[in-house]
Copies of this chain bind each other. A is one copy, B any other.
Amino acid sequence: MLTRKVLQGRKISPLTTGEQALLEGTISEVRSVAARTVLVRKGVELEHSTLLLKGLLSRHVDDRHGQRQFVSVHLAGDLVDIHAYPMKRLDHDVAALSDADVAIMPLTALKAITEANPELARKLWFASLLDAAMHRAWIFRLGRLDAVGRVCHFFAETGARLFAIGAAPPGRFDLHMTQVDVGEACGLTGVHVSRVLKLLREGDICTFKDGRVEILDYAAMVRRGQFDPSYLYLEIPPDVGVLNARSCSSRSGPGPP
């Protein structure tokens, strides 16, 4: 069932099997894309939305000098650009971070099933609101956390999401990103990400090697990144208690300190 992971693990509105079938019925094509492929370019008119089946996708905006800022990272089960349906054009690019499988859902088909089924429409709306909630968490991350806090917050969020869809145990997950990618998510240079990771390694908080994150001290990571997962609406948030706790000085201040 290709739509199995849609909204999986979230507190509200799991899709019924009927709704999954409806959504799955809109899929016109399943496509495999190679890492670093651009799937959607900003401003181009779209005729379909995308459901990510496998792999890692990013959404990012480019600044005038070609530097990228990620505005989100998508995992299996994410309706990557469901907002293409009401919006028609995206204000950002979508690209594959790893090799990925995506399902194509024509907007006409989406229109048909949502008009016939207000409850499903409400759930898709909900999914897009989860996206907005994550955006707000990213704003907080960039506006109020220092470099170490940003990386902790990003890893904690991503780990919790992977856990929710059953793609990883708590405290360990694959993230096929380079340090430069992490920098583009956290508003940092690749060089500085390297230094941050060194600090996290030496503080026995977490490691990041070959795209694999190992969280050694989840409590410290949560505190350092001021991570409060309530915005993810998870059914079962990963428990702080499952990993050994250890205190860690907190750090934050006005402005990206």
**How many copies of this kind of chain does the complex include?**
2
Binary CB contact string for chain A from 77 to 99 against chain B (1 if under 8 A, 0 otherwise) = 00000010011110110000000
Q: How many residues of A sit at the interface, in one of the four size bands?
A: 35 or more
Indicate if the CB atoms of A61 and B140 lie closer than 8 Å: yes
Q: How far is the CA of A111 from the CA of B131 in the complex (A)?
A: 21
Q: Which residues of B contact A87 (CB under 8 A)?
A: 12, 126, 129, 133, 233
- A173 an interface residue at 8 Å Cβ cutoff? no
> Is the CB–CB distance between A136 and B133 below 8 Å?
no
Q: Once the chains bind, are A126 and B86 in contact (CB under 8 Å)?
A: yes
Q: Choose the segment among A32-40, A162-170, A186-194 that binds chain B (4+ C-beta atoms closer than 8 Å).
A: A186-194
Give residues in A with beta carbon < 8 Å to B: 12-13, 43, 59, 61, 63-65, 67, 69, 71, 83, 86-89, 91-92, 114-115, 118, 121-122, 125-126, 128-129, 131-133, 135-140, 142-145, 183-184, 186-190, 192, 226, 230-231, 233, 250, 252-256
